[in-house]
A and B are shown apart, each in its own frame.
Chain A
Amino acid sequence: MALLRFASLRLLRGLLTLWFAVSVTFFLVRLLPGDPALAIASPTMGEDQREQILADFGLDRPLAVQYVAYLGELLQGNLGVSFRQSIPVADVLLERLPWTLILTGSALVVTLLIGLPLGVLAATHRGGALDRFIQVGGVVGQSLFVPTVGIALLYTFGLWLGWFPIGGAIDDDVYGLEAYASMLRHLVLPCLSLVVLQIGAYVLTLRTNLIDALGEEYCTVARAKGAPERRVVWKHALRNALLPTTTLVGLQLGFLVGGAVLTETIFAYPGVGRAIYESVGQLDFPVLQGAFVLLAAAVVVANLLTDLAYGLLDPRVRAA
């Protein structure tokens, strides 16, 4: 019962967050400097042509009317039609979304697969050379700039060694297993650059929490009972140290999407991030709004799942 109430409250909070994100996005894109009609037509258009364009897109109506109309359409699942492409926003985004999911999803999985053992290694070798090396590596990774990492990886592994393709997400005219192999080859470098950039956060967070946990009384008890250190670390301390890391996944998701915008641009990867980047330049409000709704929903859902997982893992959370 407590869990149900906890879940309902979290769901309500998620919906409120989503509404807030949708509203802020709506007004924010309209605060962008510039004139969408100017971005659509050429600067040589006449005033009547400009007014016609604004009227066609409903941008001549009062902001409040536009907002209510937009929310109404959104509730019916309609994201609108792209100003520039004349096709439904949902089509624009759904074509790009799978690629972003593959890129960010694989980056997250690889980061956790490498980052967690590294965090454990650093914590268990606290103060040693290995610990210092991992810590410095983590901090350096976090402070790198995506285009620098991207071009360095492309130059080395794409052009010089020729192991991986330079751009795109899949080769032409490949099907079945060959298609999966092609996708994987195209995925390696962009995924690696995202991993390099975000792994530090996981390693350093886990290291700190694991060191704290290893000093807790229950670990001392476990050691006193004769449990081997490996078991104390992996079975007892890690389980508790992982809780804050779970929160980090939710928090880092926003960062991951932000990183994907640049990564997709450098690696010519056809994801939603690039659609956002292009739409800002074109002042294509419907696509921008749609993309942000989608991303906000993704982050809200991820956080909701994190919260629920946390509630399941730690009874104290749902009691609160």
Chain B
Amino acid sequence: MSTTRGLGRRVALGAAVALTLVACVPSEPDGASGGESEESGDSSGGGDAGGELAIGTTADVVNFNPLVGNSRTDSWVTNLIYPAMMTIDDEGAKVPALATEWGYGDDGLSAWIELRDDMEWSDGEPLTAEDVVFTIDAVKAEQLGTVSGMIGAYESATAVSDTRIEFTLNRPDGAFLSSIGFWMPIVPAHVFGQAPTVADFANDSNWVSAGPFVLTQVERGQRYVLEAVDDYPLAEGGRAALDRVVFRVYPDVNTEVLALRSGEIDLIGNALPPSVARDVSGDDSLQTFSVPSLGWAHMQYNMRRPPLDRVEVRQALAHAVDYEAIREVVLGGNAVSSNSSVLTPTFSQWVDETAEEYEYDPELSRDLLAQAGVENLELEMIYDAGDPNISSWAELVRDQAAEAGITITLAGLERNTYLARTNERDFDIYAGSWAIIDEPQSNFGLLFSPDGFINYAGVNDPEIDRLLAEASSALTVEDARGPLQELARIVTDQVYDNVMYVEQFTFAASSEWTGFQPKPSELLSVVNPQSLASVRAAD
């Protein structure tokens, strides 16, 4: 009796284990079960002449719909499939990609974009101006993603030919074309238009691409496989040199670096922490790339809370920080000064050569506080405890401020708590960083106008508002530069935003590959479409 029961139990256990194992093992590509894996229509399928590049990332793709997903890995993968009309060059300027030319009407109330005429989706449908109109209308109607916040001036669009789109704007906005050109991925109207709403369209199978690669296989938590598309006119030779790109997920960056060193992956797409970057740069089998951030790291002082409403107090705080020490010690030299200006050196077309950084001078800080009649200043500084750089320099800021007689209490918070408190403007000092602030004409409005969504400090300055209006309606860089530089000087003098540094990101790849085209920011990194379309095996 007991033997029978024992046998039964063992059989049941064995069956359970077998079922679990079977659930995990992939069937042959032609097999019946497919799980999440989907085969796409048109891909090279050719031999291995171009090879496979394995890229490490620390996070999974969250959403394959490029108009909804906004995580870094989402963008890396979907940017290879859904083309942007513009990309960014080394100087931070917008340059042609899918679009060839663009411009505004004289009154600034109309705009146009001309597209390439040789683009098509991987299912054979041509990519036309109708796809652009469909995309921007969906973004506006359904308030999709970050782009919806950039198109306040957008009224309507018409595809006047297969390659030309004409826009009607409700006010002049000199950043409109650059914003949609760079930030809005173009989706195929004939695919996304089938879904009841674009916002709910998961886009998790049968991908159709107009980029250098098309997604063919997804194993969440493990890998995302993209095959080269046969016809990609933007690449040299009309096709990506690689056959395949595989994104592999390593949530822990230390494991990711071990995988790079062991040859399991060929490239790390995310920026390496400064200490890891130092280690990696000494390895002969690896190459590193350094690109600047398109944003900046900063502190903001909540001017709704006295005495932070006094400019002398904010200047005292600005003089109580040794910025160079932070860049050298915490960032290991992987950061440059922005001379305390919100027009950072990454964007050479805007930069103000006369800007000067706040000098570290605790005595001057004490004098400024005395002038303001403030004694025993005690403040709390919030920051994201998950950010290793800021967690480190927050301590330096506290210690240096103590030299000037200012007591700063550190509040390193879990990320969502930090975001919530920032959003509620519940802080004395906010420490953080912007990933990308690329169009000052429109983005400075979010930062410094009284109703700006990310005006954390509570800036409310009529002169700033006047300069913002002047800059945003300027239709050329030359016309916008003057008011923007004036605005930036006020921001520095009034310490509306204390810009500390612009980080230089380091990426690492195996020396066995060449042809990378690094671009500024962690978002573009070395995994941008232009870069991956030109990567090939080193001789």
Contacts and interface: CB of A to CB of B under 8 A. Distances in A.
Pair from one complex: yes
Interface of A: 32-35, 38-39, 41-46, 48-49, 52, 56, 84-87, 92, 95-96, 98-99, 101-102, 105, 147, 150-151, 154-155, 158-159, 162, 165-170, 172, 174-176, 179-180, 183, 265-271, 274-275, 277-278, 281-283
B7 interface: no
A265 B199 contact: no
B225 A172 contact: yes
B62 A274 contact: no
Contact of A101 (B20, B145, B204): B20
Interface in B50-71: 59-60, 62-63, 65, 68, 70
A99 B146 contact: no
A102 B18 CA distance: 10
B423 interface: yes
A218 to B, nearest CB: 20
Contacts of B17: 105
B36 A95 contact: yes
A264 to B, nearest CB: 8
B255 A48 contact: no
B453 A44 contact: yes
A60 B522 CA distance: 35
Interface in B162-214: 199-202, 204
Contacts of A33: 414, 416-417, 420
Contact of B264 (A92, A167, A175): A167
Contacts of B223: 168, 172
21 contacts: A39-B416, A41-B70, A87-B202, A92-B220, A96-B221, A98-B21, A102-B20, A147-B254, A154-B255, A158-B258, A159-B262, A166-B255, A166-B259, A167-B250, A168-B222, A169-B222, A170-B25, A175-B28, A268-B259, A274-B251, A275-B221
Contacts of B252: 147, 150, 265-266, 268
Nearest to A53: B143
Contact of B251 (A96, A158, A172, A265): A265
A180 B262 contact: no
B248 A42 contact: no
Contact of A98 (B24, B65, B220, B259): B24
Determine which residue in A86, A99, A105, A275 has the highest number of CB atoms from chain B within 10 A of its CB, and name it: A86
Contacts of B23: 98
B221 A166 contact: no
A117 B316 CA distance: 68
Contact of A85 (B63, B146, B250): B63
Contacts of A168: 222-223, 248
A25 B354 CA distance: 56
Interface of B: 17, 20-21, 23-28, 35-36, 59-60, 62-63, 65, 68, 70, 143, 145-146, 148-149, 199-202, 204, 219-223, 225, 246, 248-252, 254-256, 258-259, 261-262, 264, 414-417, 419-420, 422-423, 446, 453-454
Contacts of B419: 34-35, 38-39, 43
Nearest to B446: A44
B202 A86 contact: yes
A105 B18 CA distance: 12
Contacts of A158: 258, 262
A46 B453 contact: yes
Most chain A CB atoms below 10 A, which of B70, B149, B252, B256: B252
A167 B149 contact: no
A45 B453 contact: yes
A265 B250 CA distance: 7
Contact of A167 (B26, B36, B248): B248
A83 B62 CA distance: 10
A266 B258 CA distance: 11
Nearest to B36: A95
Contacts of A275: 221
Candidate in A85, A151, A274 with the most chain B CB atoms within 10 angstroms: A85
B254 A151 contact: yes
Nearest to B199: A56
Contacts of B255: 150-151, 154, 166-167, 266-268
A275 B261 CA distance: 27
A282 B62 contact: yes
Given A41-B145, A45-B149, A170 B258 contact: no
Contacts of B222: 168-170, 268, 270
A282 B63 CA distance: 12
B24 A102 contact: yes
Contacts of B416: 32-35, 38-39, 281, 283
Closest 10 CB pairs of A and B: A270-B221, A34-B416, A33-B417, A86-B202, A98-B23, A166-B259, A42-B146, A268-B250, A179-B25, A265-B251
Contact of B62 (A85, A265, A277): A85
Residue with the greatest number of chain B CB neighbours at <10 A, chosen from A43, A99, A175, A268 = A268
Contact of B453 (A43, A92, A274): A43
